[in-house]
Structure 1
C-alpha cells in the first residue's frame, strides 16, 4: 500500500492495480469497529509498557498506561509490579485499589510487592482480605516472611495451608536452611510426600552452608540412588562440588568433575567456577588453572573464582595479577571480584594496590555497594589507614551488620575507643541488632584505650540483655581489660569463676598482662595452667622466660630454655616487614642479609646519635639475654622493627608515612625510641604489632603508652 497524495483534510490510499481508494475518516471508522484492531492497540500499549518497565522507566510506562481507555487486569498487574520493583509502594497500592476488577494474580502481585518494599503488615492485611487464595498466595506469604527471618510466622502459615504443593514444601525447607534451622529443614525434607530435584538441591546446599558438608555429600549419594526419578541439574552439581571443596574431599570431587565433563556441564560458568574453588581449597592450584584455561570465556564468575582460589592459597600476588589481567581483558569485575582482590591486598598489607582497586570500584560505581564497601573498610584499617576506612563507611548507602562491625573493629585495632563507642551508639539508633563480633570489637576497643569502667558496663549489658551470646573470646577480652589496668587478681578470679572452662588463650591473655606489670606469682600460676592444657605452647614458655629476664632471674631463664629444648619447643622469631612498591621486605633482629643492610645500619647509627641528644636511654629490661650492658644496648638498637623503619626511611620520599608490620608485641624500649624517631625525621610512623596499631608522630603515640 502506497500513499499517493496527502491533503490536510483528506488522506487517500491507492492500492496498486485496483484503482480502489478510501478516505482516512472512513478507514478509521472501519478499524474502530474491528475487534482485531482493539486487540492490536492493547498489544501495542502492552509492548511499550513492558519495554519501559524493563528499562526502569516507570513514569514513561505510567504515561502509556494512562492512554489506555479500558486497561485490563493484566496491564494493571504489570504496572503494580513495576512500581513495587522500583520501591514506589504508595503508587502500587493506590493503583491496586483503583482496579475495577482484581483476580488472584493481581492480589498475589500486590502481596509480593509489599514484601519487596518491606511492608509485612500490609502484606498480611491484603492476604487476610483476599476473597479467594491459591496455593501461590500461601507460598508467596511464606517466602516473604522467610525472607525477613520471620520463620515462626511462615511456619504457622505453612501448616494452615489447605493444600501444599511441592513448591510450598521446597520454600519452607529452603527458608529453614537460610535461617540456620537445618535440623528442621531436614525433618521437613524427610516428611515430604514427594521430592523433586529442587528439594534435594536445597537440602544439600543447606547442609553444606552450615558446616555439614559430609552429610551433604551423603545426601547427594542418596539422591543418585533414586535413578532416573530425580535427575541432578547444574545447580545441584554446583552445590555438591562446593561441598567437596568445604570437606576437602578431593577424590570424590575429582569423580564428580569427570561426571559433569561427560554430561557436558563443565562448560557451565558456575560449575567451572565451583571446580576452580574446589581444587583451590584442596591446594591443587595447577588443576584450578587447568579448569580456568579449559575454555575461552569472558565470564566474571570464572575469573573471580580464580582470584579467590589464589587468595585461599595465600598466593596474593598471583590473585592480584589475575585481577589486573581480568580488567585488561575487558571483563568487568563484580562485587565478589572486588572483595576477593581486596582480601589479597589485606594479605599483603599492600595499601597502594588497595587504592588502585578502590579507584576501579569508583569508576564502576561500586564504591557505595555494601559488599565492596565493607571490604574497603577492612582493607584500609588493616593496612594502617583507619581514616579512609571511616570515610568509606559513611558513603555506604545501605549498611548491614558487617559494615558496623568492620568499622567498630577497625577503631578498636587503632586504639580509637571513643570512636568505636560512638559508632555503636549510631548502630543501636539505626535499629541494627549487635552480634558477638560487635561485642568483641567493643571490648577490644575498651581494652586498647584504657576504658576499663566502660568495658565492665558493656560486659554487663551484653550478659544481661542476651543480645549476643557470651563466649570465651569475650571473657578473654574482659580478662585483657582487667589485666592491662593492673587488676590481675580480679582477672584471675574471673577466669576461675567462668561458666565455661577456660582454654589456653584466656590464660595467655592473663600471662601477657603479668609481663606488663611484672607480677611473677600470678604469671607462674597462669603459665602452669597453660602448660597443663597445651604442653607445647611456646608462647607460655617465652612470656614467662621474658618476665624472669626482666627481673634478672637468669637461672630461671636458663631452666625455662632447657625445658623448651627437652620438649622440642621452638620460639617464634620476632620479625617485621614493610611493603614498598608492592614488594614485601622482611627483617629479623640483627639481620644483615638484606641487600640494603649497610645503608640501613648507617641510618640507624645516625638516628642513635640523635636519640641520645634528646636524652634517650635504652631500657635494658627488654634485652632478654644475660650479656654485658653495652651488648644489650646494641641488641636493642637493631630490633626487627627498627631495621624495617630504617629501610623505610632510606626508600621513601621525605614526609611520607612509613607503615611497618610486626608478628609479636612491640617491646617497650622500641616503643619509646620510635616516638622520638618520628619526631627526629618529622614523619608519621605506623607500627602494627600482634595486638594493635600504633601511630607515632611528633614524639607521641596514639596508644598513649597504654597497649
Structure 2
C-alpha cells in the first residue's frame, strides 16, 4: 500500500469520526485526480466511509468501479445495505457474490432480523447450515437467538441451543447472554440459570441479563443475591434492580437502593430517575420525591420527556396536583405518556372536568390517545355523570378500534352504569369478548347503585361460578345491594365470606356497609353492637349512616350516641346537627332544634347547601333552593305551580318532616316546592324533548318529600326521570322508583 493511499485512508477515517460528508467527497475528488488506478484497499475504505456517512448511493458507485472486488469489498457493501434496511438490494448483491464467508451470511441474516423480515432470516440461516464450506460462528448464533427471543419462538431457540452445544460455543458469554434472555422471557428461568452457571466467564452484561430474567419471573430474592454478588456493577445493573423492585411492588427497597447508587457516584440516566420517581409515587412519598426532583434539576434531566412524565405521575399520586400541573406546563416535549399522566392525575384527584379538558387539548395537538388514556377520560366522564361527553368518547373508541381493549370497555361499562343507563352498561358487558374481575365488578356496582338487589346478587354469583375472584370493591357493591333491599342475613353472609372463602380482609368501607345493612333494616341495637366489635374506629360516614337510620326509625337514644360520637370525631361536620334537628323536629321539640342551631352558629358550622344540575345542549344548568338566577325562572316556577296542582289532585301530600323550621304550614309547603331538584326537573320537563329521559344530579341525598313528589311527576307527565344523588340512583317511572322507596 502506497504512502498516499495510507494518508487518504487516515483522512477518510477522520471524516467518519466527525461525520463530515462534504470533506469525504472532496477527498474522493482528490483521489480521482492524484491516483489514476487506486488500490482496492483504498476503494474499500471509500466504500466504508460513505456507508458510515449513510451515503449508500456513492458507496455503491465506488463498489461498481472496482474491477475485481475482493471479499472485503463485497462484505462492506453487503453490511451497508443490511444496516440501512435496503433488503431488496442486499439480496441482489448477495446472490452475485462469488464466495460467501461467515461475514457475508451474518450481514444478510442480521439485516433481515433488524428490519423485521424474520422468515427471510430463518431461510438464510437454514441455507447457511447447508453450506458445507461454512462454519457457523458465535455471531450467527447470537443473531438467531435474538430472533427467537423477540418472536417468542422457544422451539427454534432450543434447536439453535443444541447447535451451539454441538459447535462448542455454550460457554461463551456472547451466546450465553441471548440464551439467558430467551429462556427467561419464555418463563424457563431454571434453564436460563443453567446456561448462566455454565459460562466460562461472566461479564457485567451477562449479570445484568440474568438479573433482568430473574426479576421478570418475580424471583426478587434471587435477583438481589446475584446483584450483591456481582464483582463489578455499572449504571445499568443498578437501574435494572431499581426498576425491578419498583415493578414488583417493593418501592421502599427501590428508593433505598437509589440512595446507595448515588453514594457510588455512578451516572444516573432518565430510566433510573423514571423508576425511582415511580417508586416514590407508589409510596406517596412527597418529601423524597421532591428531593429527587431537585437532583433531576441539578443534573439537567428536566427536559427529558420520560423524567417529566414520571414527575407528573409522582405529584398526582401524592395529591399535589398543582405541582403536577407546573411540571407538565414546563415540559418542552410531551408524548402520549405525559398527556396520559396528566389526564389520570386530574381524574385521580377529583378534577374530572380538568381531565376531560386536558384530553381535548391533547387531541387538538394532534396526539392520538391510546387505550389507557381513553379509558381514563371515560372514567372521568363517569365521575361527572356526563353521559353526553362519555358517549362521544364511546364513538371515538369505536372509530379508533380501542373498544377492543378491556381497559376501554370496562370504563364504558362503568360510565353507563354511573350515568343511570344500566341496560346499555349490561349490553356493553355482554358484547365484550374478554371480561375480567373489573368488568364484573363494574356491572355489579352499577346494579347495586340502582338498588337492584336481585340482579346484583345474581351477577355476583355468576361471577363466582365463572371462576373469577371478587375484590373488596365487588363486595362493597353486593353488600350495599343487600342493604338497600333489606337482605340482612344474606349481606352478613357475604361479609363473612370475604375472609373465610376469599381471603380478603375487610376495610373500613366494608364495615360501614354493614352498619348501613343493620341500620336501614331497623336493627339499630345490632348496628351498635357491631360498631363496638369493629377493629377500626368508625369514621364520619359510619356515624352519619347510623344517625340517619335513627332518625328514620325514631330511636333517640342511639341517635344521640351517634351524634355525640360524630361531633367528637368531626366538630365542624354539620350532619350531626342536621340529623338530630330532624329527629327533634319530627317530635315537635322546636326548643331543641333552636338550641342545635345556636350551637352551629356559635361554632361556625354551616350546612352544605343543596345543588342540583341538569345538562342540556352541552351546557350545565345549576339550581339551588328558591333559585331565581336562571333566565328561565318564570317558566320554571309556572311549571311547578301547574305540576303541584295536578299532584295534589292525584293524592300527593307534602312531607313536612323535611322542613326543619318552626313556621306556618303554608310556608313549609312553599319551601318544599322550591327544592333544587324540583327546579331542575321542571327545567327538564320544559326543554328536554319528549321521549328522552330527564337526568338530574344532586350533591346531597334526595329528601323524602322530593322523592315522593318526583314519583307523582313521573306518573303525571309520563316521563322517565333519573336522579343521581350523593348515594345512589333513583329511576322514577310511571309513579314508582327503582329503589323501592328504600334508600
In structure 2, the residue matched to 1:174 is 243
Query: Which residue, out of 490, 495, 501, partners 1:454?
Result: 490
Give the distance between the partners of 2:634 and 2:379, measured in 1 at CA: 35
2 CA distance for matches of 1:389 and 1:555? Answer: 50
**Counterpart in the other structure of 2:212:** 143
Alignment partners' CA distance in 1, 2:353 and 2:276: 37
Can you list the C-alpha shifts for 1:601-654, whole angstroms capped at 9, x where unaligned? 232233333333433333333333333334433333332212111111111111
> Normalising by structure 2, what TM-score?
0.74
Distance 1:660 1:116, change over 3 A: farther
Of 80, 87, 107 in structure 2, the residue corresponding to residue 43 of structure 1 is: 107
Q: Is the 8 A contact 1:575 1:586 kept in 2?
A: yes
Counterpart in the other structure of 1:648: 684
Are the structure 2 counterparts of residues 156 and 559 from structure 1 closer, same or farther at C-alpha, using a change threshold of 3 Å? Answer: same
Farther off after superposition, 89-98 or 209-218: 89-98
Give distance in 1, aligned partners of 2:720 and 2:127.
67
Distance 1:392 1:205, change over 3 A: same
Deviations 1:85-130 (A, max 9, x none): 455656665665677556456565455445545xx4x332453466
* d(CA) in 2 for partners of 1:183, 1:632: 59
Following superposition, the deviation at residue 291 of structure 1 comes to: 3.3
> Which residue number corresponds to residue 478 of structure 1?
514
* RMSD between aligned residues: 4.1
Is the aligned partner of 1:623 residue 2:659? yes
Instruction: Specify which of 464, 485, 498 is matched with residue 534 of structure 2.
Output: 498
Task: Determine the C-alpha separation between the residues in 1 that align with 2:494 and 2:139.
Answer: 56
Structure 2 residue matching 1:591: 3-state secondary structure: coil
Is 2:542 the partner of 1:542? no
2:99 is matched with 34
Q: Secondary structure at the match of 1:578?
A: strand
Change (3 A) 1:473 1:31: closer
Q: In the TM superposition, what whole-angstrom CA distance separates every residue of 1:529-556 from its partner, at most 9, and x where no partner exists?
A: 1112222211111111112223333222
Aligned residue among 180, 190, 196 for 1:124: 190
Q: 1:127 to 1:674 in 2, by over 3 A?
A: same
CA contact (8 A) 2:445 2:477 kept: yes
Matching of residue 165 in structure 1 with residue 233 in structure 2: yes
Flag the 1:179–1:47 CA change in 2: closer, same or farther, 3 A: closer
Q: Distance in 2 between matches of 1:346 and 1:289?
A: 25
TM (norm. structure 1) is 0.77
Shift in alpha-carbon separation, 1:409–1:200, aligned structure 2, 3 A = same
* 2:328–2:338 Cα contact (<8 Å) kept: no
Alignment pair present for 1:324 and 2:324: no
- Please state how far the C-alpha of 1:173 moved relative to its aligned partner: 3.5
**In 2 relative to 1, CA 174–534 (structure 1 residues): closer, same or farther, beyond 3 Å?**
same
Q: Give the match for residue 578 of structure 1.
A: 614
Query: Once structures 1 and 2 are overlaid, which stretch shifts more, 423-432 or 564-573?
Result: 423-432
Q: Give the structure 2 partner of residue 636 of structure 1.
A: 672
Out of 588, 594, 606, which is 2:642 matched to?
606
Distance between the aligned counterparts of 1:266 and 1:105, measured in 2?
A: 36
**CA contact under 8 A between 1:310 and 1:318: conserved in structure 2?**
yes
Unaligned runs of 5+ in 1: 1-14, 19-27, 225-236, 238-255
Q: Which residue of 1 aligns with 2:330?
A: 291
C-alpha separation in 1, matches of 2:683 and 2:667: 23
- SS for the counterpart of 2:403 is coil
* Deviation digits for residues 262-311 of structure 1 (CA, Å, limit 9, x no counterpart): x5x5654445657878699464899679637xx6x784455556656776
Number of corresponding residues: 635
Question: Aligned ranges for residues 402-413 of structure 1 at < 5 Å?
Answer: 402-413=438-449
Determine the C-alpha separation between the residues in 2 that align with 1:656 and 1:205: 46
Residue 214 of structure 1 corresponds to 287
Q: Give the secondary-structure state (helix, strand or coil) at the position aligned to 2:514.
A: helix
SS at match of 2:635: helix
**SS of equivalent residue, structure 1 residue 529:** helix
Q: Please say which structure displays the higher CA radius of gyration.
A: 2
User: Is this contact kept in 1: 2:450–2:729, CA < 8 A?
Assistant: yes
Supply the distance in 2 between the matched residues of 1:382 and 1:215 (Cα, whole angstroms): 37
Which moves more between the two structures, 347-356 or 399-408? 399-408
- Of 472-481 and 93-102, deviating more is 93-102
Deviation at 1:656, TM superposition (A): 0.5
What SS does the aligned partner of 1:552 have? coil
Q: Secondary structure at the match of 1:664?
A: coil
State the 1:60 CA deviation: 6.4
Distance 2:521 2:218 in 1: 42
The residue number in structure 2 matching 1:553 is 589
1:640-681 deviation per Cα after TM superposition (whole angstroms, max 9, x unaligned): 212111111111111111111111111223223323322333
Looking at structure 1, the residues matched to 256 and 181 of structure 2 have their Cα atoms a distance apart, in angstroms, of 28
Q: What's the secondary structure of 1:165's corresponding residue? A: coil
Once the 2 structures are TM-superposed, how far is the Cα of residue 409 of structure 1 from its aligned partner? 3.3
Cα pair distance change 1:44/1:494, threshold 3 Å: same
In 2: Cα distance, 1:572 partner to 1:519 partner: 25
152 and 697 in structure 1: CA distance in 2 versus 1, 3 angstrom threshold: farther
User: Could you tell me how far 1:334 is from its partner in structure 2?
Assistant: 2.8
Distance 1:481 1:82, change over 3 A: farther
Distance 1:603 1:472, change over 3 A: same
Answer yes or no: is the 8 Å Cα contact 2:479–2:494 preserved in 1.
yes
Partners of 1:445 and 1:281 in 2: CA distance:
35
CA distance in 1, matches of 2:95, 2:147: 35
- The match for 1:528 is 564
Give the direction of change, closer, same or farther, for the CA distance of 1:109–1:681 in structure 2 (3 Å limit).
farther
Shift of 1:220: 6.5
Q: What are the residue-to-residue correspondences of 1:270-289 with 2, within 5 Å?
A: 270=306, 281=320, 283=322
